[in-house]
Amino acid sequence: MKADCENFILLLQEHSETVLDDAHKEHLASCANCRRLLEIHDRSFARLKQGFTLSASAREAILGKVQKMIAEEKSSKSRSSDFSLAFWLRSWRLQISFAAVLFMLMAGLWYSGKSQPDNTMQISGSATILKNFKKIALENTLIQLETGEKVTILNGRVDLCWQNSEKVSIDGMLDFAVQENNIDAKSGQATLTFLPAAAGYIITTRLMLVKILGTTVVLELSDNQDAISVIKGKVEWSLLDGTEKREVSAGTKMIVTRHPEGLKVTEDICQKEIPESSSNQLLEVGAKKTGNKWTPLEKN
Amino acid sequence: MSYRNLEVDSEFLLSLKRQDNKAFETLFHACAGLVFSIALSLLGKRSAAEDAVQEIFFKAYRALPDFKGEKLASWLGKIAHNHCVDLLRQTNREVSTTSVPVEDLHLHQSNSAVDELPDFINALSETEREVVILKKVEGLSYKEISLLTGKKEGTLRNMVLKCLQSLREIVDES
């Protein structure tokens, strides 16, 4: 085979549609074999193209069958999921019913617990208190308190609980009422030690508002003066009308005095230990209330 | 419509991945010819090829949600090629269990000769026939055929050359 004939075959090998350049045209003009090869090549592959054509009707028929297969698969999938659901429901109906009843009971209990907030407040400790003008000796017994109920600690130490959890201990004499997350202190002198769980609780006096941030404080409330000494931790202190507000750390005493011209705020230092004179002494000796004033009782 | 005219934009691809019927019909009409050529060249019988086209498009429909965004025709061509090769393997396994006299075995020749096809094509193996058809009938480049069949371009060129040499022999004999 001549080199030109080999080149011609390579041309046919490379292209699906034969495009002849001048060199190949010149070769074809002089080579009968390659002319004949091109003729047979073109005719054969033209015939092949016809043979490999998918008629429009066959095409539509195939598409129809594919679409039918798809539809059948979709419906069998939904049938099998229906069947499996029905099967499971049938075989597990007793268990499912039991679980449903259990779930409803649990949900009911949960809902009743959630819908009625636990507002219970209790007082306990070792102290003598006045509750609704009735003298009660607490000997570690737990007594229920109503919201806003007035309590007077005559002597000793009490623990106040909110939602069955102890939040604050009070040593000393104090006239107060308990509210939700709030001690409304009227008068008296006492040391209040708040547990960490009481962070955010509030003490309200006639002149000031104290937000607890994990603290032991001493309250000294008299006719025209309210004072708070921060012994441990810190509080967010403010005047009741909100005109003054600051964070007060341990060792600081805030005194608010009522004057004819208005309220006077004095900041003083205090010991970081509970003063003997405040609650401990009072705890030992008790106190009596005359009008709005508390006075320590003499021993015996 | 041919797969070469198929406009593949992101919206069309998304519709296909969602197995949208309209988009699937468009894909079918664009690529049915190519898939049929692959099936007929490998399987050798029109009826078998038509059945295969049906199964290939059903397979493709199921695989559409996993389509990763390569060329649609190549993806479909690969499914077609693999499906038909699997069918051929099954057929050959069945054939191998029957006893055939040695003189009836035609080595290097297709087991599935296509009716009404010229001898120079029928003399090729199924794989060679597929390559020649994809090159000369479907007009695919060697690179595209390589992607479908997984064969090297050099091997594909040799297969086409073998077919052309058969044609040359016919010319020389005449």
- Write b or e for each residue in A241-277: b if 16 or more Cβ atoms lie within 10 A of its Cβ, otherwise e: eeeeeeebebebbbbbeeeeeebeeeeeebeeebeee
**Which residues in chain A are contacts of B39 at CB distance < 8 A?**
none
Q: In angstroms, what separates the C-alpha of B17 from chain A's closest C-alpha?
A: 15
| B14 and chain A in contact, CB less than 8 A | no
Could you tell me if A38 and A64 lie in one domain?
no
Could you tell me if A98 and A222 lie in one domain?
no
CB pairs < 8 Å spanning A and B: 88
Could you tell me if A98 and A142 lie in one domain?
no
Q: Which residues contact residue A268 at a Cβ distance below 8 angstroms, ignoring those fewer than 6 apart?
A: A252, A253, A254, A255
On whether the CB atoms of residues A143 and A136 are closer than 8 A, the answer is yes
Sign of CA dihedral B41, B44, B45, B51: negative
Question: Could you read off the pLDDT of A171-220 as tens digits, one per residue?
Answer: 888 888 888 888 888 888 888 888 877 888 888 888 888 888 767 888 88
pLDDT of residue A223: 79
pLDDT of residue A66: 94
Could you tell me if A142 and A109 lie in one domain?
no
With vertex at residue B69, the alpha carbon angle to CA B137 and CA B43, rounded to the nearest 5 degrees, is 35
**Which residues in chain B are contacts of A63 at CB distance < 8 A?**
25, 28-29, 32, 57
**Which residues in chain B are contacts of A16 at CB distance < 8 A?**
135-140
**Which residues in chain A are contacts of B41 at CB distance < 8 A?**
52
Could you tell me if A85 and A137 lie in one domain?
no
- Domain with A106 in it: 56-115
CATH of residue A277's domain is 2.60.120.1440
Residue A138, φ and ψ in degrees, nearest 5: -85, 125
Cα–Cα distance measured from residue A77 to residue A89, given in angstroms and rounded to the nearest whole number: 18
Cα–Cα distance measured from residue A92 to residue A89, given in angstroms and rounded to the nearest whole number: 5
Could you tell me if A127 and A103 lie in one domain?
no
Q: Nearest-CA neighbor of A8 among B142, B137, B165, B124?
A: B165
The residue whose two tokens read 């015939």 is A47
Average pLDDT of the residues in A266-290 = 56
Cα–Cα distance measured from residue B18 to residue B171, given in angstroms and rounded to the nearest whole number: 53
Question: Could you read off the pLDDT of A34-55 as tens digits, one per residue?
Answer: 899 898 888 888 888 888 888 8
User: Across the interface, do B133 and A52 touch by the CB < 8 Å criterion?
Assistant: yes
Percent of chain A with pLDDT over 70: 82
**Is residue A17 over pLDDT 50?**
yes
Q: In angstroms, what separates the C-alpha of A87 from chain B's closest C-alpha?
A: 27
**Which residues in chain A are contacts of B145 at CB distance < 8 A?**
none
What dihedral do alpha carbons B51, B56, B58, B63 form, nearest 10°? 170
Determine the residue among A8, A17, A48, A73 to mutate to test chain B binding: the one whose Cβ has the most chain B Cβ atoms within 10 Å: A48
User: Across the interface, do A48 and B50 touch by the CB < 8 Å criterion?
Assistant: no
Average pLDDT of the residues in B133-155 = 92
Could you tell me if A236 and A265 lie in one domain?
yes
Query: Rg of chain B over CA atoms, in angstroms?
Result: 18
> Which of A13, A48, A67 faces B164 most closely, judged by CB atoms?
A13
Q: Nearest-CA neighbor of A220 among A232, A205, A233, A234?
A: A205
Q: Nearest-CA neighbor of A206 among A179, A188, A190?
A: A188
Residue A166, φ and ψ in degrees, nearest 5: -70, 135
At A84, the pLDDT band (50, 70, 90 cuts) reads: low
Could you tell me if A127 and A178 lie in one domain?
yes
The angle that helices A93-115 and A56-91 make with each other, rounded to 10 degrees, is 70
pLDDT of residue A234: 83
Question: Could you read off the pLDDT of B23-63 as tens digits, one per residue?
Answer: 999 999 999 999 999 999 999 889 999 999 999 999 999 99
Could you tell me if A10 and A101 lie in one domain?
no
Cα–Cα distance measured from residue A271 to residue A274, given in angstroms and rounded to the nearest whole number: 7
Q: In angstroms, what separates the C-alpha of A109 from chain B's closest C-alpha?
A: 45
According to DSSP, residue A54 is labeled P
Q: Nearest-CA neighbor of A229 among A256, A202, A195?
A: A256
Cα–Cα distance measured from residue B49 to residue A58, given in angstroms and rounded to the nearest whole number: 11
In this prediction the ipTM stands at 0.83
Question: Could you read off the pLDDT of A111-167 as tens digits, one per residue?
Answer: 765 545 556 788 888 888 888 778 888 888 888 888 888 888 888 889 988 877 888
Q: What is the identity of the amino acid at A169?
A: S
The angle that helices A22-30 and A32-51 make with each other, rounded to 10 degrees, is 110
pLDDT of residue A145: 87
**Which residues in chain A are contacts of B54 at CB distance < 8 A?**
62, 65-66, 69
On whether the CB atoms of residues B49 and B43 are closer than 8 A, the answer is yes
Closest-CA residue of A relative to B29 is A59
Residues 25-64 of B with CB under 8 A from A: 25, 28-29, 32-33, 36-37, 40-41, 50, 53-54, 57-58, 61
Residue A134, φ and ψ in degrees, nearest 5: -115, 130
Could you tell me if A249 and A131 lie in one domain?
yes
pLDDT of residue B99: 39
**Which residues in chain A are contacts of B53 at CB distance < 8 A?**
54, 62
Q: Nearest-CA neighbor of B84 among B44, B27, B32, B125?
A: B44
DSSP per-residue string spanning B110-143: -SSPPTT--HHHHTS-HHHHHHHIIIIIS---HH
Average pLDDT of the residues in A265-284 = 61
pLDDT of residue A60: 93
Question: Could you read off the pLDDT of B75-126 as tens digits, one per residue?
Answer: 999 999 999 999 998 877 554 333 333 334 333 344 455 555 677 788 888 8
Could you tell me if A173 and A267 lie in one domain?
yes
User: Across the interface, do A40 and B137 touch by the CB < 8 Å criterion?
Assistant: no
Could you tell me if A102 and A134 lie in one domain?
no
On whether the CB atoms of residues A124 and A99 are closer than 8 A, the answer is no
Question: What is the maximal distance between C-alpha atoms in chain B?
Answer: 58
Q: Nearest-CA neighbor of B148 among B165, B127, B163?
A: B127
pTM beyond 0.90, yes or no: no
| A81 and chain B in contact, CB less than 8 A | no
Number of folded domains in chain A? 3
Residues 124-143 of B with CB under 8 A from A: 133, 135-140
Tokens of B151: 């064969």
pLDDT of residue A82: 61
User: Across the interface, do B157 and A13 touch by the CB < 8 Å criterion?
Assistant: yes
